[in-house]
Structure 1
């Protein structure tokens, strides 16, 4: 479908450009990122006055004080902070920027794509390991860490997509990711849920991922390949192939690429080649959130009959 070019009046666009440039300049400043994020979130939510009262220690009701304090990510906990294999220093900086990413989506300005798209592209340039030109990142995109994402040029990520980068997530040029797609880079052991393995997951140049599809950790979706709506990818999708179903398998080669693509069929599983060697370093207090007895029946320590 051909799209129509539309644009705002020049004076409105100039104000938007100025606002995005202001946020970029603040995030690039030689100041603590957490403090800058708190300031920007308070502005985005029209709550600067309450935030200033918190900063100056003027008394408020307890809940109002906690709410104002929570604009600053240094006063908040996030899920990724529990993951011991992540480098604490890298994760700390990514946490602050990811907190701004999520907080921005809750602000009124997130509904104006004339502001939201350049703002998210600017923020991605600070948050991601690498991000290319002209990316279009829509609302509700959940990012696990942020600093483990490499994204190429002209990528489109639609609404409510999960970009899990607990491992490494590599997205090539001109990739299109439809609404509610889930891209995974980590998996849990089937017996011990706390036993996590991280992988590198790759979506190659010109690939298209259909609505509500899922790519398992360690898989590769090949160049110019297509994943159908609702498909669950558990292996590698070859270049130029169309994969559908759950679990997905290749059902055809895109017309015109038959001479350079192999025959359709089941997807080859090669995730072991992309397993990451995550080494947990430093001292920390380990937490078992479930406290389950995982000993099989008949073995010492089991509570089963």
Structure 2
């Protein structure tokens, strides 16, 4: 269906662009990012008067203090903060920007499509490793860090998509990621859930990953291909193919692309290991196992040197 151009009234447009430009300029400056995020959220939520009373040491209720301190990302923890292998030097800045993205989505302005798409594009330029032009990021998108994501030009990511960049995630030009999609770049061992491997997941130019699909870590979605709704992709998708199912299989080549596409295969090939990203943990790291499960199977005489990788049940859980 062809879309039409929509624009804001002139005064609303001036105010929106002035606000986006102001935040962009502050994030690009030497100003402390944590302070920029805090003040931006205070103003977006209309809490400036209460915030200044709190900063002046006036008496506030415990609930008011918790609400006001919550605008400051330094007073929050995110799930990815607990991941031992993260790049600490990059994570702090990413956390601040991710907090601004998430809390912006909690404001009424996040439903103003014209404003919100431009604001998130500006944030993506600061948060992602790379972000192309004319991208459209809708409401409720989450990511692990943000700084391991690269996105090309004119790509759209719809509502409630999870972009897992615990490993690395590359999305090409003119890609469409539909509502509820999960793109993973890490996987858990099937026996020891605390053992994590990170991978490079790739969605190539002109690909479409449709509603509620899940792409396993280390998979490549080929150029101009389509992943069907609610599919679970566990192998590389060839260029120009349409795949669907659980696990996803190629069901046909896109009409008109038969001469340049590989033949339909019996099954998709998993090349995950070719895209594994090794990492080292810091010396003296104080680790813990939150589950405390027994890891030695009763039928094994000794703990194995290596255990079989997860076959796909809950492959992308961020536990």
TM bin (shorter chain): over 0.9
The more displaced of 42-51 and 161-170 is 42-51
Distance 2:29 2:262 in 1: 51
Indicate the residue corresponding to 1:27 in structure 2: 27
The 1:301–1:47 alpha-carbon spacing in structure 2 relative to 1, beyond 3 Å, is farther
Distance 1:56 1:98 in 2: 28
Does structure 1 residue 171 correspond to structure 2 residue 178? no
| Contact map agreement 1:223 1:239 (CA 8 A) in 2 | yes
| Contact map agreement 1:54 1:69 (CA 8 A) in 2 | no
Distance 2:283 2:99 in 1: 25
Does structure 1 residue 140 correspond to structure 2 residue 126? no
Could you give the per-residue CA deviations for residues 88-146 of structure 1, whole angstroms, max 9, x where no partner exists? 12011101100111101001110101210000000001100000000000000011110
Q: Please state how far the C-alpha of 1:36 moved relative to its aligned partner.
A: 1.1
Indicate the residue corresponding to 1:117 in structure 2: 117
Indicate the residue corresponding to 1:249 in structure 2: 249
Distance 2:187 2:140 in 1: 23
The 1:301–1:54 alpha-carbon spacing in structure 2 relative to 1, beyond 3 Å, is farther
Q: Please state how far the C-alpha of 1:301 moved relative to its aligned partner.
A: 9.7
Does structure 1 residue 80 correspond to structure 2 residue 83? no
Indicate the residue corresponding to 2:286 in structure 1: 285
The more displaced of 6-15 and 192-201 is 6-15
The more displaced of 62-71 and 112-121 is 62-71
Indicate the residue corresponding to 1:296 in structure 2: 297
Distance 1:53 1:277 in 2: 49
Could you give the per-residue CA deviations for residues 139-172 of structure 1, whole angstroms, max 9, x where no partner exists? 0001111000000000000001000111100000
Could you give the per-residue CA deviations for residues 50-90 of structure 1, whole angstroms, max 9, x where no partner exists? 22223333221112112111110011111111111111120
Unpaired runs of 5+ residues, structure 1, are none
Secondary structure of residue in 1 paired with 2:277: coil
Does structure 1 residue 130 correspond to structure 2 residue 126? no
Indicate the residue corresponding to 1:59 in structure 2: 59
Unpaired runs of 5+ residues, structure 2, are 304-319
Distance 1:295 1:54 in 2: 54
The 1:8–1:161 alpha-carbon spacing in structure 2 relative to 1, beyond 3 Å, is same
Indicate the residue corresponding to 1:195 in structure 2: 195
Could you give the per-residue CA deviations for residues 151-201 of structure 1, whole angstroms, max 9, x where no partner exists? 000000000100011110000000000000000000111111100000000
Does structure 1 residue 222 correspond to structure 2 residue 195? no
Secondary structure of residue in 2 paired with 1:199: strand
Q: Please state how far the C-alpha of 1:284 moved relative to its aligned partner.
A: 2.8
Distance 1:297 1:190 in 2: 15
The 1:60–1:160 alpha-carbon spacing in structure 2 relative to 1, beyond 3 Å, is same
Distance 1:167 1:252 in 2: 31
Indicate the residue corresponding to 1:18 in structure 2: 18
Could you give the per-residue CA deviations for residues 195-247 of structure 1, whole angstroms, max 9, x where no partner exists? 00000000000000110111000000000010011111000000110001110
| Contact map agreement 1:41 1:103 (CA 8 A) in 2 | yes
Indicate the residue corresponding to 1:234 in structure 2: 234
Distance 1:56 1:300 in 2: 65
What is the aligned residue count?
302
Relative to the length of structure 2, the TM-score reads 0.92
RCO higher in structure (CA 8 A, sep ≥6): 2
The more displaced of 293-302 and 9-18 is 293-302
Distance 1:282 1:45 in 2: 42
Counterpart mapping for 1:3-14 below 5 A = 3-14=3-14
